[in-house]
Copies of this chain bind each other. A is one copy, B any other.
């Protein structure tokens, strides 16, 4: 498991509010069927990093958002994220997430689908508690983008190995919600258009870096640290940034061609490929790309209030590329 955000100094300015978010999340199934409460408790207990709520709370602290509406937004973002994970893991047949068994390994598909739906409903309710139509609108659009991305991936088949496609994919999968976390927060704070744009860029750049690092960790981590099997992307024929750099450097690699074309790839090719990607400089190139996103994120904060939250956002951005690289 990764280091807990609680051990990091940049959450300090929002520690109390983060606890409020946590409490708000945990009570969302109160009064409903006990099975939903149990499922929600299981999902929340898995020690997710809560990076999105932290990002939301720090942004809102910097911009002076109303605390109640801010906590609702942070909870809404995490709930939406959790709901999408429930359906994702079901669809992918994932067995483990964040080091604990996924819901779909313990429950029927039917119960898993419905639990995800319930969490969508609660995300929508929490979003409504921000009392901003514009934020709700953005929020619902983000869900459409996330799902559209998954459908595109589902129908796209294996081995699409181009950069435009990769960027679009990680934007839909991860980054759009990061971008919405900061942008919607500026909306509920009643910020100027310039400020909104600055924090949107911050969310966007941090989100891109976050997913690139996740994709790197899939190559470099150990299974127990990652909380899921290593190289699961490559195994599924999903070509992420390190593999794209590898293909650019070694366009005629036969193992990669086999992997892209076959399911599963021929005996031994995955191991050989993993070693080649790890040792061929592709990881470093992907790391540099993530660092570039983080630098651009930090730049976008230049004209924003010089407060403790702004400093913490810079620290958060740096943490994202330093996590395990």
- What residues make up the interface of A, taking CB atoms closer than 8 Å to B? 32-33, 35-36, 84, 87, 90-91, 108-111, 113-118, 120-122, 124-125, 127-129, 131, 133, 136-137, 139-141, 143-144, 147-148, 150-152, 154-155
Closest residue of B by beta carbon distance from A125: B140
Complex copy number for this chain: 2
Give the distance in Å from the alpha carbon of A278 to the alpha carbon of B128 in the complex. 47
Contact of B144 with A122 in the complex, beta carbons under 8 Å? yes
Give the distance in Å from the alpha carbon of A220 to the alpha carbon of B90 in the complex. 38
- Measured between beta carbons, the chain B residues less than 8 angstroms from A154 are 108, 110-111, 114
* Contact of A124 with B136 at beta-carbon distance under 8 Å, contacts A35-B155, A87-B114, A109-B109 already known: yes
Contact of A117 with B155 in the complex, beta carbons under 8 Å? no
- Measured between beta carbons, the chain B residues less than 8 angstroms from A120 are 117, 120, 143
**Among candidates B129, B137, B151, residue contacting A35 with C-beta atoms closer than 8 Å:** B151
Instruction: Give 4 nearest A-B pairs by CB, closest first.
Output: A124-B140, A121-B143, A121-B144, A125-B140
* Contact of A33 with B121 at beta-carbon distance under 8 Å, contacts A87-B113, A128-B140, A136-B136 already known: no
Contact of B90 with A144 in the complex, beta carbons under 8 Å? no
**Among candidates B87, B111, B133, B147, residue contacting A133 with C-beta atoms closer than 8 Å:** B133
Give the distance in Å from the alpha carbon of A111 to the alpha carbon of B148 in the complex. 11
- Measured between beta carbons, the chain B residues less than 8 angstroms from A121 are 140-141, 143-144, 147
Give the distance in Å from the alpha carbon of A32 to the alpha carbon of B122 in the complex. 25
Give the distance in Å from the alpha carbon of A115 to the alpha carbon of B91 in the complex. 12
Can you report 13 residue pairs joining A to B where beta carbons are below 8 Å apart? A33-B155, A35-B155, A87-B113, A108-B154, A111-B154, A114-B150, A117-B120, A118-B147, A120-B120, A124-B143, A125-B137, A128-B133, A133-B133
Closest residue of B by beta carbon distance from A131: B133
- Measured between beta carbons, the chain B residues less than 8 angstroms from A32 are 144, 148, 151
Give the distance in Å from the alpha carbon of A131 to the alpha carbon of B32 in the complex. 28
Contact of A117 with B147 in the complex, beta carbons under 8 Å? yes
Closest residue of B by beta carbon distance from A90: B113
Give the distance in Å from the alpha carbon of A261 to the alpha carbon of B323 in the complex. 56
CB distance from A72 to the nearest CB of B (A): 11
Give the distance in Å from the alpha carbon of A71 to the alpha carbon of B110 in the complex. 33
Give the distance in Å from the alpha carbon of A152 to the alpha carbon of B131 in the complex. 31
Contact of A117 with B35 in the complex, beta carbons under 8 Å? no
Give the distance in Å from the alpha carbon of A36 to the alpha carbon of B172 in the complex. 15
Contact of A144 with B125 in the complex, beta carbons under 8 Å? yes
**Among candidates B114, B122, B124, B151, residue contacting A36 with C-beta atoms closer than 8 Å:** B151
Contact of B117 with A87 in the complex, beta carbons under 8 Å? yes
Contact of A33 with B152 in the complex, beta carbons under 8 Å? yes
* Contact of A144 with B131 at beta-carbon distance under 8 Å, contacts A136-B136, A151-B33 already known: no
Give the distance in Å from the alpha carbon of A117 to the alpha carbon of B88 in the complex. 11
12 extra A-B contacts, CB within 8 A, seeds A87-B117, A125-B140, A128-B140: A33-B155, A35-B155, A36-B151, A87-B114, A91-B109, A111-B155, A115-B151, A117-B143, A121-B141, A122-B140, A124-B140, A128-B133
- Measured between beta carbons, the chain B residues less than 8 angstroms from A122 are 140, 144
- Measured between beta carbons, the chain B residues less than 8 angstroms from A110 are 91, 154
